[in-house]
Amino acid sequence: MEAFYPELIALAQVIVIDVVLAGDNAIVVGLAASRVAPEMRARVIFWGIAGAVVLRIAFAGVTMQLLAIVGLTLAGGILLLWVCWKMYREISYHSPHPASLGAAVVSPDERPVAALSSGAQSLRSS
């Protein structure tokens, strides 16, 4: 029985992911069905759910085929590390300065003269 624990854990993970995706699909189908006439609503819901199931099965099949390619997971992991590194550099080197509430309201034409002149000086120096 203990040999089945990893398979049961994997099955539980798939079920949890499926429930989360089904909830997302239910919201989208519900939003789409709310815009149609009440007499057509049942058909829209049925075909929306059927389409979501078919697409999920098709995407799972494509995913299984892609995961069978040797080295594709490694390439994806390396690409993910590169994206994380770029985001880290952007956050650490370009830390945004907190603006006041009034700064969000002021239009670019209403900036103080000192800010405009310092911006012009930086343009001249570069």
Q: What is the pLDDT of residues 56-109, one digit of tens each?
A: 889 888 988 888 888 998 999 999 999 999 999 999 887 555 555 555 555 555
High-pLDDT (> 70) share of the chain, % = 74
Using a cut of 0.85, tell me whether the model's pTM lies above it.
no
Q: Which pLDDT score is estimated for 112?
A: 55
Whether residue 111 has pLDDT greater than 60: no
**Residues of 75-99 as b/e, b for ≥16 C-beta within 10 angstroms?**
eeeeeeeeeeeeeeeeeeeeeeeee
pLDDT tens digits, one per residue of 11-61: 888 888 888 877 888 888 888 899 899 999 999 999 998 898 888 889 888
